[in-house]
């Protein structure tokens, strides 16, 4: 079995100049950089310029496929430092071209009204039978699908419930835990909109790519513990699939909400 990726090393950044950082992708990731890695590194780059505030929302666009053989430069624009909110914009660059950009807002902790939707009633991760393929999964996120399917091309409702957690100890740093949640939020997401059509990642002729991604962080959480990623796809049209995701900790607290639109295009064979 391949050795699991060291996520803390993967997300780490090298300071190059004021507001400029260099990141790298594992060579084992394949021909394209995993989108969640760029989200996590860009968020971490923004955090290098923020003091005492946590990200409450981020919005990003995937512009070009990332090349894992080339370093990624992250250029941070300190857009605004306000009394309660801080805004940053991050541009990821390879070979002189933008491959990704992110806008993030950070908020000072303050008390206020609270409510949330209830977590869907699903089996706990301990009740689920381990998929033998999980033992070959080398990414640093452990995944247990509630319905036993992960990316398989079986036609069904546009619903996907997945338990996930980081396998490497992260400690209690809220920034690192949040960046890892951002990394994991791109895993399996787009495949939710493929389910009504019976498509999967290996479907012949399928072209797929994340187009944009947004996350709203509601409260800090420790991602070494199990979290339920409840995913729904309310619509697909024009070769684009829309996905919504709700991340709950095992106590049923809503930690984050995510949204993504992605390309799902089936090219005719022959």
In SS3 terms, the chain reads as: CCCCCCHHHHHCCEEEECCEEEECCCHHHCCCCCHHHHHHHHHHHHHCCCCCCEEEEEEEEECCCCCCCCCEEEEEEEEEECCCEEEEEEEEEECCEEEEEEEEEEECCCCCCCCCCCCCCCCCHHHCCCCHHHHHCCCCEEEEECCCCCCCCCCCCCEEEEEEEECCCCCCCHHHHHHHHHHHCCCCCHHHHHHHHCCCCCCCCEEEEEEEEEEEECCCCCCCCCEEEEEEEEEEECCEEEEEEEEEECCCCEEEEEEEEEEEEECCCC
pLDDT at residue 4 greater than cutoff 70: no
> Which whole number is the average pLDDT over 105-132?
89
CATH class of 7-109+131-266: mainly beta
Q: What is the pLDDT of residue 29?
A: 64
Write out the two tokens for 158: 């546009």
Q: What is the pLDDT of residue 204?
A: 84
pLDDT at residue 111 greater than cutoff 80: yes
pLDDT at residue 138 greater than cutoff 70: no
pLDDT at residue 135 greater than cutoff 60: no
Q: What is the pLDDT of residue 1?
A: 39
pLDDT tens-digit series, residues 238-264:
999 999 999 999 999 999 999 999 999
Percentage above 90 pLDDT, the chain: 80
Residues designated as active site: 186, 210, 260
Residue 10's region, left for phi above 0, alpha for psi from -120 to 50, else beta, is alpha
> Is 269:203 a contact under the CB 8 Å cutoff?
no
> Is 104:131 a contact under the CB 8 Å cutoff?
no
Q: What is the pLDDT of residue 269?
A: 67
pLDDT at residue 136 greater than cutoff 60: no
> Which whole number is the average pLDDT over 10-22?
97
Write out the two tokens for 262: 């992605």
Q: What is the pLDDT of residue 200?
A: 81
Confidence of residue 140 (pLDDT cuts 50, 70, 90): confident
Q: What is the pLDDT of residue 270?
A: 56
pLDDT tens-digit series, residues 171-200:
999 999 999 999 999 998 999 999 999 888
């Amino acid at each position: 079995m391949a050795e699991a990726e060291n996520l803390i090393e993967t997300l780490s950044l090298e300071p190059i100049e004021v507001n400029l950082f260099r990141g790298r992708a594992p060579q084992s990731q394949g021909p394209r950089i995993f989108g969640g890695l760029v989200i996590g590194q860009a968020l971490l780059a923004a955090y290098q310029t923020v003091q005492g505030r946590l990200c409450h929302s981020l919005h990003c666009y995937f512009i070009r496929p990332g090349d894992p053989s080339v370093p990624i430069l992250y250029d941070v624009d300190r857009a605004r430092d306000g009394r309660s909110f801080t805004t940053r914009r991050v541009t990821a660059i390879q070979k002189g071209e933008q491959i990704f950009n992110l806008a993030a807002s950070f908020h000072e902790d303050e008390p206020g009204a609270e409510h949330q939707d209830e977590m869907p009633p699903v089996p706990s991760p301990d009740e689920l039978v381990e998929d033998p393929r999980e033992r070959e999964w080398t990414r640093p996120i452990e995944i247990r699908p509630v319905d036993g399917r992960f990316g398989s091309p079986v036609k069904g409702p546009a619903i996907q419930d997945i338990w996930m957690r980081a396998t490497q100890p992260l400690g209690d740093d809220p920034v690192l835990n949040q960046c890892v949640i951002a990394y994991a939020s791109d895993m399996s997401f787009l495949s939710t909109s493929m389910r009504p059509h019976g498509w999967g990642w290996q479907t012949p002729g399928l072209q797929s790519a994340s187009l944009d991604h947004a996350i709203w962080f509601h409260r800090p959480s420790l991602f070494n513990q199990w979290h339920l990623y409840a995913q729904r796809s309310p619509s697909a049209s024009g070769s684009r699939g829309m996905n919504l995701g709700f991340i709950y900790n095992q106590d049923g607290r809503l930690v984050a909400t995510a949204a993504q639109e992605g390309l799902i295009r089936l090219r005719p064979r022959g």
